[in-house]
A and B are shown apart, each in its own frame.
Chain A
């Protein structure tokens, strides 16, 4: 079945550091890939997405590239801020599965001033 494996946390960084969260997937067909972010006490917000191979999703300084050859969708940000502290979820959906989202376990990121 469809599944997502993402880097375990927690990750603690200093402000302005470089962030990478690894995500790999297994899927039948051609999935769309997503990163969602969850701030404390809140629901999930869509951070970025990519729908086909070699697409790059970007938003708020975050980027991720859909790599079909390595089945990966790693999240990166060049200079993190304290406000980026949150839990990040990698997810996929496949049209043949009615676009139900399959999520990774989440990575908790804490950025210290």
Chain B
């Protein structure tokens, strides 16, 4: 049973650099969500996909952020021109569409540190 995986687990980058994270959801799950978690806080919604379509983006997602899910499989989240305020844990979750409970299954996260 393969769960949600994320790569890399940790990323240290200098301010102004671009970074890209990858998420591989549970294979039969149609929906894929990205969240951001800062220290001492609960995760906050960033964006989500149903299959390959990106259906919503949070106001938290500035134009430096872009996400894709080609072919409705894995997803990437790119941050351009990183800022120190982007330092956080980026979490990916997947969910089967139509589930009555709406539960989501999370990956281990990518911890980004911008120096």
Contacts and interface: CB of A to CB of B under 8 A. Distances in A.
Interface of A: 4, 32, 34, 36, 42-46, 49, 51, 89, 91, 93-95, 98-106
Interface stretch (B14-22, B34-42, B76-84): B34-42
A91 B109 CA distance: 18
A94 to B, nearest CB: 8
B72 interface: no
A51 B100 contact: yes
15 contacts: A4-B42, A43-B4, A43-B6, A44-B91, A44-B93, A46-B105, A49-B101, A51-B102, A98-B56, A99-B31, A99-B102, A100-B45, A101-B45, A103-B43, A105-B41
Interface string B40-62: 11111100100000011000000
Interface residues of B, number: 28
B40 A44 contact: no
A52 to B, nearest CB: 9
Contact of B42 (A91, A94, A98): A91
Contact of A101 (B41, B55, B104, B109): B104
Given A98-B55, A101-B35, A105-B40, A44 B106 contact: yes
A94 B103 CA distance: 11
Nearest to A103: B42
Contact of A46 (B43, B56, B103): B103
